[in-house]
Amino acid sequence: MTAITTIRNLGPATEAAFARAGITTAEEIHALGPDEAYRRLMESGTPPHFIGYYVLVMGLQGRPWNDCKGAEKAALRKRFDALKAGMPKGRSELEAALDRIGVVERRR
């Protein structure tokens, strides 16, 4: 099993965020693909950020993060926006589950 930090552009903070999402190896990210892996990050409470998304996409292709430009970047923006739109509004699924078992205070 290979560390997530072996994927180009991804460092310890990203590795920790993936661990919170239950993803602990580079192989898992490759198997899931960038969209599903990023969806799981958001689901686990990581706020959506377009740069973080395209950094992941570029890294999985073995490319530097700043290689994303023009039409390719615009197409990735549409994919990111679709991922973000598919997330529940308000609380993440993790927060909602913690709320159901009484771990977090209910938002009103």
- The ranges assigned to domains in the chain are 4-100
pLDDT value of position 97: 72
Q: What is the pLDDT of residues 7-54, one digit of tens each?
A: 999 999 999 999 999 999 999 999 999 999 999 999 998 999 999 999
pLDDT value of position 101: 76
Give residues with Cβ within 8 angstroms of 49, minimum separation 6.
none
Q: In CATH, what number does 4-100 get?
A: 1.10.150.20
Q: In Å, how far are 40, 88, 97 from 68, measured between CA atoms?
A: 22, 28, 36
Q: What is the pLDDT of residues 75-91, one digit of tens each?
A: 999 999 999 988 766 66
Question: What is the distance between the alpha carbons of residues 71 and 85, in angstroms, rounded to a whole number?
Answer: 21
